[in-house]
């Protein structure tokens, strides 16, 4: 039962254009969402997060949008750079005490074409 889904296993985007990565979730109790980026042979690194009380969070070139009614979040990268080529995982969690664990999606491999 995949509670967090990333339906696009891969995505190719021209350098300088916008990259949009999508994530859907089924558990309406999730109220905190994160994006991680992973290079080959390295562990995932935290990119950006959003609480369910917000619908947008921005950090430099990265913006995460949350649509609670659709149970959907997206990560926008603009402008895309070659160093953004990586696998991106979205993750979700519950904020109540004792639920520190994250549920991850299956990942989307982003390739930025120079």
Residues that bind another protein (CB under 8 A): 4, 6, 9, 32, 34, 36, 41-46, 49, 51, 89, 91, 93, 95, 97-98, 100-107
Q: Which is nearer to another protein, 13 or 33 (CB)?
A: 33
Distance separating alpha carbons of residues 57 and 89, to the nearest angstrom: 17
Distance separating alpha carbons of residues 75 and 64, to the nearest angstrom: 5
To the nearest whole angstrom, how small is the minimum distance from the Cβ of residue 15 to another protein?
26
To the nearest whole angstrom, how small is the minimum distance from the Cβ of residue 29 to another protein?
14
With H, G, I as helix, E, B as strand and everything else as coil, classify residue 84: helix
Q: Which is nearer to another protein, 43 or 114 (CB)?
A: 43
Q: Which is nearer to another protein, 26 or 95 (CB)?
A: 95
What is the torsional sign of CA 65, 54, 106, 5? Answer: negative
To the nearest whole angstrom, how small is the minimum distance from the Cβ of residue 106 to another protein?
4
Distance separating alpha carbons of residues 83 and 98, to the nearest angstrom: 36
């Amino acid at each position: 039962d995949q509670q967090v889904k990333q339906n696009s296993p891969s995505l190719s985007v021209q350098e300088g254009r916008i990259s949009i990565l999508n994530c859907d979730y089924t558990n309406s109790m999730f109220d905190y969402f994160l994006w991680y980026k992973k290079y080959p042979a390295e562990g995932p690194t935290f990119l950006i997060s959003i609480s369910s009380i917000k619908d947008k969070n921005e950090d430099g070139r990265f913006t995460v949008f949350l649509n609670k009614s659709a149970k959907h979040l997206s990560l926008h990268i603009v402008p895309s750079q070659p160093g953004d080529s990586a696998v991106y995982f979205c993750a979700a969690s519950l904020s109540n005490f004792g639920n520190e664990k994250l549920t991850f999606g299956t990942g989307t491999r982003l390739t930025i074409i120079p």
